[in-house]
Each structure stands twice: as C-alpha cells, then as structure tokens.
Structure 1
Amino acid sequence: MKLGIALPTVGPPGRRRYVLEVATAADRMGFDSVWVSSHVALPRQRESTCLYPRAKTADAYNWGVAWLEPIAVMGLVAGVTERVRIGTHVLALPYRNPVILASELASLDQLSLGRIVLGAGIGWMDEEFRTVGVPRKQRGARTDESIEVMRTLWAARRPTSFHGRFTDFDDMWLASRPHSEQGPPVYVGGNTEAALRRVARLGEGWLAHELYPEEIPPARDTLARFAEEAGRDPAGIELTVRRALVPPFEVMDFMSDRLSIRGTAEEVAEQLDAYRRVGVSLTVLDLSMRPAEIVETMEWLVKDVLPLM
C-alpha cells in the first residue's frame, strides 16, 4: 500500500514554511506523493450543498478561509523535493482554459522531472461556477474535452489541431513541453456513476473520496465494466482513496469518529490493509490542521504502522 499526504494548504496552516515542512518530510520519509486541494473563489453566503456529504469540514468552503493556488504550490514543492509525486486532489477543470492549463502542467512536469499528477474534477459549487463565468450544466462536457485537449497538446510532436465544442484551434504547438512522453497522468475524482464512467474512459487512476473498504468492491466492479465497454483494461487504472487519519496520540482531530481511520498501530495497519485487499493501491491521508502534528504522524506511520503491512 502506497501512502500519500494532503499538504496543509487550506486555512491558517497554508503558509510557505508549513507546506515546505510537510512536503520535504514526505520526500525524505519515502511517502509516495503529496496532494493539493483547490478552490478559486468562495461566497459570502453559500447555498450550494457540499459535494462530500460525509465531510465535517464544510466551513472550509465558506468565505474567510484561504486556499493556496495549487499550480503555485506544486511549483514550490517541485523545487524542494526530489522523488515524491505531486498531485491535485482535485482541480476543477471547467474553471480553467485547457490550453493554458496544459502549458502550466507541462512546465511543472518538466521542472519536476515527471512527478506531476493531474487529479481532475468537475467542480460542484454553484457560486464558484457563476464567478468564473462557466455554466454549471456544462461541467461534465467541459471536463471531458479539457482532458482530451491537454493530452492532444502534450503528446503532439509537431503542430496539431483540435476541434471541439469549447476549444478550437488549427496547427498549434504547445510552447511548454512536458518531461513525460505523454504528459502528466490524469486521475479522475468522484464517487458517482458518471465519475466512474469518466475514469473508465479518460483516467489513469480513480480518486475516490471518503469511501470505506466495503464500498470499494461494487464501485470497482462498475468501473471495470465501464472500462471494458470503453475498450480499456481495468487493470491499467489505479484505484486510490482519500481518508482522514488520527494517530493514538493527541492531535487536532477535525473529523468525526466514523470518518477517520484511527486506533493503535496494529488497528491502523489493519484498516489500511483492508483497502489493499479490495484493490486500492494508494491511500491519500488528511492528518491534522497543525503541520508539526502532520509530520509527527508521518513519522509514527513510517516507524510503527508500515512495518506491520
């Protein structure tokens, strides 16, 4: 089981020194990856419902809470790490021009020597869609096309063309070139059937959010069926899940008992291994709101939990 760490980029912990502290610790300790969350604008009064009904941190989606911009964070982290992968969990593709985003991610991929992962989402907040000037009802179609545009530009070895519903160009060459031959891998987020169809058609990986081990097999089987219908081998799609984790020592616990992986080293190892047994190969962990506690928990995972797995 590979472990990834959510970087402290939301609220008061979202400061340069804290991001660097956690990212360099993850790189040094051998964690697989670090991940950045994303929102562009937050409303004074939010009426839209949080996409993640199990989340207990809905206040993070209200005004007054700062979110660091993921592209900037990824560049900072790429410059101070050597081996850890750096991903978005997730980036709402309808909010962004796919040609510009393709160039930004290509540069990040080049500067990180191929360590960038695009975690793609469709977005959910009505107020945010209105602010960026994109109709919410187009979010699925825009996400699909954005992935196709970026892959076309990344893979092209000469000027290329694209004629879609939202993006149209002839004989153009992306000025920034990725390090990876086909560009950064695209992992698709979401737990719905529509999200699984998108993963099956377009994703190298699936970013499940707050699913318990017993919920993975039916979703995995649905994903496999959709992949086969799309002419793809399901085995080529990496299954991941994001969960909060609370160690057996005092940290700032921002999740309910039901939502967090918690317990002794043996109990946590068993809960993580339950995901491995149902086909998940990467678990992305939200640890604490305090960066020092994040690092302390990472040290505990490496010393006491991973040897049991």
Structure 2
Amino acid sequence: MDIGVLLPTGTAQWATADDPRELIALGRTAEHLGFTSLFVNDSLISPRIEALTMLAALAPATGTATLGTAALLPFLRRPVQAAQSLASIDLLSDGRLTLAVGAGYPGRFGRPFYDLSEVPWARRFARLDETVALWRALWNGADSFHGEFHHFTDLPPALRPSRPTGPPIWLGGATPAALTRTGRLYDGWLPYPPDPADYTTGLHHIHEAAAAAGRTPEAITPALFVTVRIDEDPKHAHRALDDYAHAAYGMPLPELRKIQTVVAGTAEQVTARLKQYVTAGARHLVTRLAALDLRGQREQLERTAALLPELRARPRPRTRVRPGQ
C-alpha cells in the first residue's frame, strides 16, 4: 500500500509571505513522515511551478519517495524534448519517476491549453496514446517513429532512463474508453471517482481490457487521487474544504463532490472513508491536502501522516465461531 502527497505547487495554496522554496523542505518532511510518493500537478496558464522543474529540484533533495505527476499534460510540450526531460529526471532520481498523464477536459483547464499550445483539440486521446508510444520507443533506442501525428526518421540516440522500458506511465480518467485504454496500454490508473463503487466497477473494466490484450491485472497499479481535510471539528473541516474548492476551482464544495473524490472530517472519519477506496481496490493513494497556505499544508501533512499505519494495516481475519460457542 503506497500513500503519497501532492505538493502545493500552485500559488492558490500559498499565503502572500510564503516562500516557494519551502516546497522542497515540505517534500523532504513528507518522505521523513512515511509518505512513499511526492506528486505535482501540471498546467500552462495558471500560476504554478512547472511540473518537471519541480521534480528535477526534488530528485537530489529526496532519497526514497516516488516522484510523480498527477497529471502531466503531454500536449503542452514537444514530444521528443519531453522524453529527454523525463529520462533526465528519472536518472537524477535513480529511477523513482512515475508519470500519470492526461489529455485535459472541456472547460477552462482543457481546450484553452490546446489553443495556446497550437495543438488541435480533435483526437486528443489518440494523440496522447501516440505520444506515450513515442516516448517508450525513444527510451528503447528507436531510430525512427511513424504514427498518425508524429513522423521521425533518423532519430539520434536518446537519453535512456534507469529502467529499459522507461518510467511507469499511468492514465487519469474514468470514461469507458479511458478504462479500456488503461487496460491495454498503461501501467497504472489514477482516477478520482466520488463513489467507491465506481472505483470497483472501473477497475474491473480495466482488468477485463488487460486480459483481452494479454496482460495481467498485476501489470497495472490501481491508484486514487483524493483531496483530504482533517480537523477535530468536522464542520470546520468541511468549511475549510469548501474554501479550498472555491480557491482552486471557483465552485462550492457540493459541486466539487459530484466530480471528484474529496474527504473531510475527523481523523477517524477520513480514515474510514479512505478505507472504502482501499477495499474497492486502490493500492496507491495520492492525497491532495486542502489548505491555502504552506503552514496549513504542513499541519495537514502531519495529520494525514498519522493515518498511515491504519491505512496500511491489513484487514484482520474474521474469527470463525463454531456452533455452540
């Protein structure tokens, strides 16, 4: 069971006096507290530390935690250059890189990015899959690549990452098509379904698609992206999460709950809710901490760290009661 944290690289999670260099110390603290992964988000036009720059800074400052993206938007970058940057981070971190990728979605976080990147919105999912295939080909030493969107001949030798096949690549998304593509092509799944039952259904779909493609379920890491707020007073936790929803998405908490996994309450309440997703099949939790300054982020990090032993504990076997006892 892996449990990680999404570092607050966006300025919406900083106070005016916060120093963004504290993010490195926050990552080291998370690793010391027992979190096994450090993730960062990706964007283009929102004020945020660029994802790969953040991971490159974390690589020499940490020693054991997986470094990941949740999620990287490959269309924002030239694909060959991105492959080189990703291989560099993987080497500098001694093979600790994991990539969750996505194609964006309609709204202010999706199509405008494509327009600014001068990349067509049409067939964006096919473009994403082909870009990932190009990366893997480059990391395996291919000297040419010919697809629907990318055509290269006489490719020069590319930088090889630590692992021969490159870092694991997960897909974010939970549409039926995304589930099928995850089972066929990707190394992991990072969704945020509001209902644990939907997680179970989606994972079953992925395993069926994997079997049809000659893959085993064990080849795919089942992860979960979840926003967490812990307070002694449940009402205060929900108010803080509502403030976070407004700051990050411009929407109230009830609307965010309809589209994402969000958990707020006491430590016991949050643990119980997260365990429902573990029971549903999740084996790598990526927790986003709902705080709007770095001091609050550190407090929430410590409160979430206190849940780690219970979340990692294996369920106790049921005691069989013999008749007459």
- TM-score of the superposed pair, with normalisation by structure 1: 0.85
Larger of the two Rg values belongs to structure? 2
Q: Distance in 2 between matches of 1:140 and 1:260?
A: 26
Q: Distance in 1 between matches of 2:304 and 2:42?
A: 26
Q: Distance in 1 between matches of 2:63 and 2:96?
A: 9
Which ranges in structure 2 are unaligned for 5 or more consecutive residues? 246-252, 312-325
**8 Å CA contact 1:94, 1:134 repeated in 2:** yes
Q: Which residue does the alignment assign to 1:302?
A: 305
Deviation at 1:140, TM superposition (A): 1.2
The 5-angstrom pairing of residues 221-260 of structure 1 reads: 221-249=204-232, 252-253=240-241, 254-255=244-245, 256=253, 258=257, 260=262
Aligned partner of residue 191 in structure 2, secondary structure: strand
Which ranges in structure 1 are unaligned for 5 or more consecutive residues? 42-64
Task: Compare 256-265 and 206-215 and name the one that shifted more.
Answer: 256-265
Task: Compare 242-251 and 28-37 and name the one that shifted more.
Answer: 242-251
For residues 87-116 of structure 1, the C-alpha deviation after alignment (integer angstroms, 9 at most, x for no partner) is 111112223222111110000000010111
The answer to whether 1:198 aligns with 2:181 is yes
Q: Which residue does the alignment assign to 2:135?
A: 150
For residues 149-206 of structure 1, the C-alpha deviation after alignment (integer angstroms, 9 at most, x for no partner) is 10111122xx532111222223424432212222111011111112112211221100
Deviation at 1:12, TM superposition (A): 4.5
Specify which of 3, 20, 24 is matched with residue 20 of structure 1.
Answer: 24
Q: Aligned AA for 1:268?
A: V
Q: Which residue does the alignment assign to 1:55?
A: none
Aligned partner of residue 271 in structure 1, secondary structure: helix
The 5-angstrom pairing of residues 8-157 of structure 1 reads: 8-13=8-13, 16-41=20-45, 65-124=46-105, 125-156=110-141
The answer to whether 1:264 aligns with 2:266 is yes
- The sequence identity of aligned pairs, in percent, is 31
Q: Distance in 1 between matches of 2:112 and 2:145?
A: 30
- TM-score of the superposed pair, with normalisation by structure 2: 0.81
- Shift of the 201–248 alpha-carbon distance from structure 1 to 2, 3 Å rule, reads same
Q: How many residues align?
A: 283
**Structural RMSD (CA):** 1.9
Q: Distance in 2 between matches of 1:229 and 1:173?
A: 35
**8 Å CA contact 2:139, 2:158 repeated in 1:** no
Aligned partner of residue 153 in structure 2, secondary structure: strand
Task: Compare 117-126 and 166-175 and name the one that shifted more.
Answer: 166-175
For residues 194-244 of structure 1, the C-alpha deviation after alignment (integer angstroms, 9 at most, x for no partner) is 211221122110010243312211111111122122221123211111111
